[in-house]
Structure 1
């Protein structure tokens, strides 16, 4: 059965099936509601139910005034939702396209830099910050795109997960020209038009979408102040020198690496990476913040940043959920 789903305050509507999540119905209709992981872990797609009823994957029923995850709930009637809709993504069509390995090289002891090429007629049209679903030998995993210009291919930063299904395939002498498939573009993590200074918060390979977004800002000759806070467990885990190079080359780019463990070889900032931001700014009222990393890091930083005067509307995130 189909139901009419209306989105406010944008006043758009689409048809939703009672056997399909609200988010999937929206995306099928070309309507990009805010989302990231699509499995209920990150909470990015949380929306307010203004009218009607919906049920989640566990069978819990929600009604007017409840907050729901659109990726995890199906309609049980016509609905009215307060949710974020992104017209910037309206022209995008997510599809599966073939790709081949252009290069695969270790960026560090546990991070693979993988570059894929697609046929000239099969460009994804991604925005820097979005991700793709990589399909290889029956395994599918989501990875953020780490470059801004698709003409250079699709760059991915992939951490070696012990006993991980995809890791065992990719870190075992992957050959050039190996055929794979990718689905995309996915997600609603991208740079919003603004003149406000930006703070990027990255944990681990959460640097990948940050790299893409900073590349785009620099290509556009943006004058916005850009602060890059990148957290890693140890000093040897940092796998790119680009942030340091940017900060040396561009007056508006500032790089602050932070190590969370008791690493005696590290003489820089230590502790939780988002705490470094709190230490450096008395108020976050004037900033846009883009955070990418674990759900735990994102949840903790969002709470602390809002307590430090950041508007919830100026916090954008992409959570990396664990999978094997």
Structure 2
């Protein structure tokens, strides 16, 4: 059964199928609502139910006046939602595109940098920070795009997940010209155009979308101050020297690597990566923060940074959830 879904404050509407989640119906209608993991883990798609009823993944009916996850709830009536809509993404078309492996370089003990090339006629048209769904031998996994310029192909940073199906395929040996497919672009993680200083918080391969977004800001000759906090368990796990190169070349870019594991020889910052931000700033009211990593890291960042005056509307996140 079809229901009318109204989104406020954007004042737009679309048809929602009672057998589909609100998020899927919105995306199928070309309405890009805020989201990330799409499986209920990260909470980024949370919206306020103004009117109507929905049913959640557990089969519970939720009525007006409550917050819901659009990725997990299906409409049971016409409804109205207080939700974030991004007109910047409205013209994007998510599609499946064939590609071939240009290179697969092991950049650390558990990370491969995969570069994909596309047919000359292919147009991906993504915004730096978004992700794609990689399809190979019947397995599909989501990975953030790690480069800003699609003319160079698409760069992915793929971590070796123990017993992961895609990890076994890629880390088991991947020859050049291997045929794959991608679906995308996906997600609502991208740089908002303004002059506010930016803090990036990356955990592990959460550096991938940060790399793409910083590249885009550098290409635009931005005057915004940029702070890059990158957390790893051990210093040997940092797989790119680019953040330090950016900082060395630009006085407005600052790089702060943070190690969370026990490491006696590490002389840099230690602890959880978002705690380094808390230690360095007294007031974040004038900042934009972009966090990418585990749902636990993102939720901790959101909670602790808002105590320093960061506004919720200026906190943007992309949650990495592990799939076997």
Q: Provide the rounded CA distance (Å) in 1 between the counterparts of 2:12 and 2:155.
A: 34
What does 1:13-24 correspond to in 2, within 5 Å?
13-24=13-24
Unpaired runs of 5+ in structure 2? none
Q: Provide the rounded CA distance (Å) in 2 between the counterparts of 1:311 and 1:224.
A: 18
Q: Which residue of the partner structure matches residue 183 of structure 1?
A: 183
Q: Provide the rounded CA distance (Å) in 2 between the counterparts of 1:288 and 1:120.
A: 36
Residue 118 of structure 1: CA displacement? 1.6
Residue 124 of structure 1: CA displacement? 1.4
Q: Which residue of the partner structure matches residue 119 of structure 1?
A: 119
| TM-score of the two chains, using structure 1 as the length reference | 0.99
Q: Which residue of the partner structure matches residue 313 of structure 1?
A: 313
Q: Provide the rounded CA distance (Å) in 2 between the counterparts of 1:235 and 1:123.
A: 37
Residue 104 of structure 1: CA displacement? 0.3
What does 1:208-219 correspond to in 2, within 5 Å?
208-219=208-219
| Runs (4+) off by over 6 Å | none
Q: Provide the rounded CA distance (Å) in 2 between the counterparts of 1:272 and 1:29.
A: 40
Q: Provide the rounded CA distance (Å) in 2 between the counterparts of 1:160 and 1:111.
A: 6
Residue 52 of structure 1: CA displacement? 0.4
Residue 123 of structure 1: CA displacement? 1.8
Q: Provide the rounded CA distance (Å) in 1 between the counterparts of 2:216 and 2:153.
A: 15
Q: Provide the rounded CA distance (Å) in 1 between the counterparts of 2:309 and 2:210.
A: 23
Q: Which residue of the partner structure matches residue 251 of structure 1?
A: 251
State the Cα deviation string for residues 31-79 of structure 1 (Å, max 9, x = none): 1000011111111100000000000121011111111110111100001
Q: Which residue of the partner structure matches residue 145 of structure 1?
A: 145
Q: Which residue of the partner structure matches residue 163 of structure 1?
A: 163
Secondary structure at 2:245 match in 1: helix
Q: Which residue of the partner structure matches residue 129 of structure 1?
A: 129
Q: Which residue of the partner structure matches residue 222 of structure 1?
A: 222
What does 1:27-66 correspond to in 2, within 5 Å?
27-66=27-66
Residue 270 of structure 1: CA displacement? 0.5
Residue 121 of structure 1: CA displacement? 2.1
State the Cα deviation string for residues 197-250 of structure 1 (Å, max 9, x = none): 000000000000000000000000000000000000001000000000000001
Q: Which residue of the partner structure matches residue 276 of structure 1?
A: 276
The yes-or-no answer on 1:265 pairing with 2:269 is: no
Residue 120 of structure 1: CA displacement? 2.2
Residue 122 of structure 1: CA displacement? 2.1
Q: Provide the rounded CA distance (Å) in 1 between the counterparts of 2:281 and 2:313.
A: 19
Q: Provide the rounded CA distance (Å) in 2 between the counterparts of 1:53 and 1:124.
A: 37
The yes-or-no answer on 1:172 pairing with 2:172 is: yes
1:5–1:78 Cα contact (<8 Å) kept: yes
Secondary structure at 1:26 match in 2: helix
1:134–1:143 Cα contact (<8 Å) kept: yes
State the Cα deviation string for residues 93-130 of structure 1 (Å, max 9, x = none): 11111111010001111100000012222221100000
1:235–1:265 Cα contact (<8 Å) kept: no
Q: Provide the rounded CA distance (Å) in 2 between the counterparts of 1:295 and 1:97.
A: 29
Q: Provide the rounded CA distance (Å) in 2 between the counterparts of 1:117 and 1:70.
A: 34
Q: Provide the rounded CA distance (Å) in 1 between the counterparts of 2:265 and 2:128.
A: 34
Q: Provide the rounded CA distance (Å) in 2 between the counterparts of 1:271 and 1:201.
A: 13
Q: Provide the rounded CA distance (Å) in 1 between the counterparts of 2:43 and 2:121.
A: 35
